[in-house]
Structures are given as structure tokens and as C-alpha cells.
A and B are shown apart, each in its own frame.
Chain A
């Protein structure tokens, strides 16, 4: 009998023995012909894959509320299915596309790590926003996250963006203790009192551990969100174009021409949020808008990477909110059905740069590339106090 915890996957991770739906009617009952690299390496390391958790349609929403197969409510709030399974004793592995895993874990009293881009193979994950999405781990403790990260972080020849073994190994250790952490001024815009208190609590714990915390003036959190929304939706629009009703997945029964087959299959199988993202992405990539939208967003990405580089010359990590509030209600979505493209202001900086990010207790920590071990080490300071 293995003493290891079991693994639950979110439905963006492809498995041979269980259907993978990406939370969409389009892929209802879809059986992959192969396992994701994360699944293969966890199985080889002796982990039992317990099953799948539901996710939002193509994982772009807040916490899973756009799933075609439904989303549970608790006390009037949406609950994330992967986090529920982790609370029941498993470790979760999912694809962080637009921060839903970070938001959900930070709100659910759990911890997640979105490792440095390129260290965990994306082979066998449903492609949405390939330039930023990352296989991530959700656990009850930092140790859970570190343990599973050490298995899924390795070079993979099947992923052209996979980094070398030497670099992948770096995320498995804590190379140095954090001494200085920055809070970026722009990151506190729009957060409610409860989240602001979470930041204050975390700050106090860091200081008690001898870590200096400073507020730094920076625009990063202002510009990362719009740029990321352009890149994410553009890549999404292109990636989900393969779901056309021709080869597999949902096919409308209502068509006489190939164009009707495409249009009706996609109209009937895709949800409203996804359609918004497709249209936005398509518009950004059009010949008329490419230069002022997509190409501009690529430039903003580089400016943000450089801005982080400058911050990390003086600081070991950045502390920021994970979300503007600690739970989302159906009312929130009713008032603003595109809320996920605003709430991602807090997660977009790490998504657009590929920097590692740890989320817990309403906050996220962002560090330089390969500082994953150090971020988990900071999280342990919090765990020590709150145990």
C-alpha cells in the first residue's frame, strides 16, 4: 500500500482511461488516445490517480462557474471542484490558464503553485493560452505542493517549450531564504477590506520572521491584465478553432453545408463566456488590429518582464492579492459576466511573464524564474503561524 496521497486532476489534463471535457459540451465524453506527461510521471512515481475534477469551460473563468456540467454552490458562493477534492485529502493537479486555480486555492484555505513556465511539461493538456498557461499543483500544505512539483517538473522532449533538466531541477530546491519582499502599489487597487486584511496579516507574519516588506511604486498590475487578456483570448481563439465538429466532439445535427456544420456545432456547444473570448481574440488578431492589439500586447509583455527584473534586483519576491474578494456569487456574474477578465488583474502578471507564483490565504507571491522553492518556503512561514 502506498502511503502517498492520491492525485485528482482537473478536466484540462488529458487521460486515456477517463474522459477529458475541458468543462465544455464540445468535448462531452471525449476520450484521449494518450495520457498527459504529468499523468505518466505521477503514475510512474507511484501516485494513484483518483479521478477528475470539473473545471470552468477551457479554464478561463473565475473558479469553475462556467463548467457545462455544473458548478456547486456553498453558502451562496461558487466552489471549485478541484479544491473540494483536495480538501477531501488528495493533491490536485490542473492547468492554470487564467488564474482560476490560484484564486480558488487562495479562497479555499489551500495552497497552490504555478511553477516557472517551461519546467512542468504541458504535453497532454488542452491548449488554450499556450504562452502562459502552466500545469499547477494544489495541496493542503506547501509540502504537498513541493512533493508533487518535484515529480512533474522535468525536461520533456514532447514539449518544445520544456526547459533543460538542469533548469527544471532548480524549482525543486529553496536556493535562498527570502529577506526582502515588495508590495506593488498598483496591486492593491480594487480589493475589498477582507483581502486587504489578508495582505496585512501576511505582511505581519513575514516581518515577524525577519523579512523586510516594502511598498513599491509600480504599474505592473495596471498593464498586465489588458495585455494578458489580448494574448490569452487570441491564443484561445486559435486553439479552440480545432473544435469544429468534423473529427470528434460535439457535432450539430442541424446542417446542410460545411459552413453550417462548423457554425452550428460551435454555436450549440460553446458557452457564452467562451464565445466572448473567441470573438475578442479573433478581433485582436485581425489584420486591422494586429499591430495595435496583439503585437502591442507582446511588447507590453516584454516591458513587464523587464519591470519585474528591476524589482527582483532589490527584492526576493512580490506579495500581492490573489483576488479582489474572498468568494464569488452568482450575483457577481449576473452583474458582470466578464468579471473573470477583470479579476485576473491579480494573476495576469505571473501568467504573462511565466514567473512562478504561490497562492494561499487570499494572497499570491511572485518570484523570479526558478524561485519556486523559495516561494513555498515563504508560504511555510504562514503555515507555521496558522497551524
Chain B
């Protein structure tokens, strides 16, 4: 018999806010244990939650990017369970009126475009982290991650293969990063996902027994887990190797197997109820419109526009639209210099290589695109040599306030129009190396590059290469 697999995902994404959801502690990843904590996120009595407005902004942004209906009155609720990484023994989340509902995401599949429906997006706080490897018999708790804001994106069970799941997750990754909702870094846990999966005979409308694999944090592991679970379900159905029960499972990537964590019968009751300390949040038209107006173009729309309107190659457009920061930089530079191809070249060859050498991701780019546009103008109109232009760019990375023209002037990077200076340098260099001059006159044209390089060095790069080449040829031939 043929089977089809039915998959729905719950994707957790940490929001890119400076501070936590209910207190002013830093939400940044990577600090030492319990450095980003206060009485509120440690669950001490007497601290009341005050909602970080930025969290709601980003929740709405995510909802709009995923074509959701935004609930104009959205509320927070409490979810109770005991676990040492949850200091209050309840998580503040959204249960009754989440910020966004009923959306969809389009993905590409071999048989064409497919809509994956989004059931809801809700805002909530993250839990802390248990550390087991400090001492053999004790577990330590790190509350840095406690109350870092999250959204959970719940899809309908519309996915039917590991490939579709990966395509869906990559699409979410791209849209959320583009809208600056999250940096979506799987390796830092800022994007994680729970996979709900069941198997049924092809054509059947009745869903099979569903299992949930918790806390997946890499695309390859997700694909492997889906293959494994699908095979396990089919084996159970066909051969009766085991009785499938609705349960939560843990994926062990090293062993390549999933293991039961808890069944439905042993699952706790979360006792959801509205949080009386957080008043319902009313999203008025002005707030809604402000967020709506701040949404970025979808990446594929940008890509298309870069190719058809600005004349970029497909390769260049792909490179730049891989990151919102690169797009912003490109568009700002273009707005100043109007030279799309040059902007793309500078970003792809120079900016990206500096980022790589500094081990920064593209999204970490803070370069002022308008200043880059001004620099491109200086190089294109011959005011600054290309090699010196790169030096200016490097300085602009370290100090965002640098004005390229002023910096070029202060550091002697302005191309000289003084032909008598060029001629005197050419004479000095040629006279010091009569052998090479004689070789060139004898027909070894390539040797001219050695003299050209020495002259350029002598002129500290501040010479139009065409002017220097002409002066050199004139001197040798004349």
C-alpha cells in the first residue's frame, strides 16, 4: 500500500529585541551564566510584567509577512508547568487571542507552488537553560535566556515530505530575517522547531496517530528525523512492530533514532488562564499602519526589480538579495550614485570580502550605504584611485561617521591632475632603470607593467591610470 505523511510544524523564533519581553535585561546571546538577569526574570516575588512594545511590533511584522490576520486586541495568558529552567513555574504566552492568525506561506515544490497555511503566531517568553556538565551530581540553571521574547509560528498539517518541510523552513528563515524579526540562527537556538507527524494510506481523509518530535535545531537533523519517523510509522502500521500512540518524542541525531519522552496520558495539564497583570493590548489603526508601512519588499520581488529595472545580472541580484542588510546598503548606495552595476560590484567584491575577513555575517553589516555611494562616485569620476578607494572603505567599516571625500583628502588619496608631477615621476623611474626601458623599446611590451607599478607607488596611487600609461608610453617612445 502507498502511504502519505502529514506534517505540521511549530517553529520558535527568538525576536531581535535589545531587551527581554517583560524587563529591561539584555536579550543578547552569549553572556556568561546569569549575567543578564534581574529579580523579574529570576521569578522573585513582587515584580510585575510590563510588555516590551517592540515585541508586539515584531509579532505584528511576522504576522503581516506571513499573510496573517492581525488580532486588534491581543492578550497574554499564563501556562503552568514545573521545570527548574522556568523560574515562575509558569510561562507567559498567548493562548486565547494570539497576535496573528490564519495566514499562509508559499513554497516551491517539484509540482509547483504550494500554500502552507499558518494557524497562528503567538508571542511568549523563552525559558532558561539547564547546565549539566559543571559538576557530576548537580545541575545548574542559567536564566540568561529566561524571558527572551519568542514567537511561535504554528502551521496547519499541510506539509507532506521532508523536502517540503525544508522549503517551508527556508522560506520562513528568509522572510523573518528580511523583516528583521529575528536573526534566525539555528546554531544559537534562535530558530527551533517541533515536528508533528502522522502517516495514513494515500487518499485517506482520516489522520493517523500523531507524534511530536520536540526541539529540533538543524535542517539536516529535521530531514533525517522525518525520514526515520515516517519509516517507523509505516513499519508499525504494516508489520505491527509496535503500537503507535500519541506522544512527544526526542530525536537523537547521533544515534539516528527518536525516543519517547511522554505520552498523552502522562502529559501535564497546562492550566492556561488570562494573565491579570497584563492588560489586553489594543492595536489601533495608527499602530497597524505604522507596522504595515515598515514591511520590506519580499526578497524575490526585490530580486526581480534589481534585474529588470536596475539591469543587474541574475548572479548579482541573488548575491545581494541573500541579506536584507546588503539590500539596504545597495539601495542606499544606488540612491546616491545612480550606478547599479558599480554598486553591485563594490558590494559583492569589496564589502562581502571585508565582512568575510572580519568573520561577520552579511546581516551584521552596519556600513552607511549612502557613504558607500559617495565613495563609488569618487572612484568612478577619477577623484580617488580604486586601490585607495578600498582603503577608504576599510576605514568606513571601522568608523561609520567617516565622510569618504574628507577622509580621502586628509589621507592624501586625491588623484592629482598635475601632469608635470606625473611626467617628473615617469622620468625619475625610467632613468633609474634604463635596462627595462631598453627591453620595452626592444619589443618586450609586458615589462611596462613593472614601470607602471613603480610610478603608481611613487604617486601613492593618486593618478588616473590612463594618464600615467600615456605619460609612460610618451616618455619611452619619445
Q: Which residues on A sit within 8 Å (CB–CB) of B269?
A: 286-287
A131–B274 CA distance with the chains assembled, in angstroms? 10
A285 interface contact, C-beta 8 A: yes
Provided the pairs A238-B78, A247-B43, A287-B269 are in contact, do residues A123 and B88 lie with their beta carbons within 8 angstroms?
Answer: no
A130 touching B45, Cβ below 8 Å: no
A34–B44 CA distance with the chains assembled, in angstroms? 10
A290–B274 CA distance with the chains assembled, in angstroms? 11
A160 touching B49, Cβ below 8 Å: yes
A235–B269 CA distance with the chains assembled, in angstroms? 16
Main secondary structure, interface of B, reads loop
A298–B96 CA distance with the chains assembled, in angstroms? 14
Q: How far is the CB of B37 from chain A (nearest CB, A)?
A: 11
Question: Could you say which of B43, B45, B47, B51 has the most chain A C-beta atoms within 10 Å of its C-beta?
Answer: B45
B46 touching A36, Cβ below 8 Å: yes
Provided the pairs A160-B51, A244-B89, A258-B84 are in contact, do residues A285 and B46 lie with their beta carbons within 8 angstroms?
Answer: no
A247 touching B87, Cβ below 8 Å: yes
A52–B289 CA distance with the chains assembled, in angstroms? 51
Among residues 39 to 93 in chain B, which have CB atoms less than 8 Å away from a CB atom of chain A? 39, 42-51, 78, 80, 82, 84, 87-90
Q: How far is the CB of B370 from chain A (nearest CB, A)?
A: 37
Q: How far is the CB of A1 from chain B (nearest CB, A)?
A: 32
Q: Which residues on B sit within 8 Å (CB–CB) of A124?
A: 46
In the complex, per-residue mask of A18-39: 1 if CB is within 8 Å of any chain B CB, else 0: 0010100001000011101000
B31 interface contact, C-beta 8 A: no
A262 interface contact, C-beta 8 A: yes
A131 touching B84, Cβ below 8 Å: no
B82 touching A160, Cβ below 8 Å: no
Provided the pairs A127-B45, A161-B277, A285-B271 are in contact, do residues A34 and B39 lie with their beta carbons within 8 angstroms?
Answer: yes
Q: Which residues on A sit within 8 Å (CB–CB) of B90?
A: 238, 241-242
Q: How far is the CB of B299 from chain A (nearest CB, A)?
A: 37
Q: How far is the CB of B87 from chain A (nearest CB, A)?
A: 6
- Which size class do B's interface residues fall under? 20 to 34
Which of B46, B141, B271, B276 is within 8 Å of A125, CB to CB?
B46
A157 interface contact, C-beta 8 A: yes
A238 touching B271, Cβ below 8 Å: yes
Q: Which residues on A sit within 8 Å (CB–CB) of B88?
A: 241-242
Q: How far is the CB of A107 from chain B (nearest CB, A)?
A: 28
Provided the pairs A130-B276, A286-B271, A287-B269 are in contact, do residues A159 and B82 lie with their beta carbons within 8 angstroms?
Answer: no
A160–B276 CA distance with the chains assembled, in angstroms? 10
Q: How far is the CB of B30 from chain A (nearest CB, A)?
A: 23
Which of B82, B273, B278 is within 8 Å of A241, CB to CB?
B82
A161–B43 CA distance with the chains assembled, in angstroms? 19
A33–B37 CA distance with the chains assembled, in angstroms? 13
B447 interface contact, C-beta 8 A: no
A127–B45 CA distance with the chains assembled, in angstroms? 7
23 sampled A-B residue pairs with Cβ under 8 A: A22-B45, A32-B44, A32-B46, A33-B39, A33-B44, A122-B48, A125-B46, A126-B46, A159-B48, A160-B49, A160-B50, A161-B48, A161-B276, A238-B78, A238-B273, A241-B89, A246-B141, A262-B82, A285-B271, A285-B273, A286-B271, A294-B273, A298-B274
Q: Which residues of B contact A (CB under 8 A)?
A: 39, 42-51, 78, 80, 82, 84, 87-90, 141, 269, 271-274, 276-279
Q: Which 5 A-B pairs have the closest CB atoms?
A: A131-B276, A241-B89, A285-B271, A124-B46, A242-B88
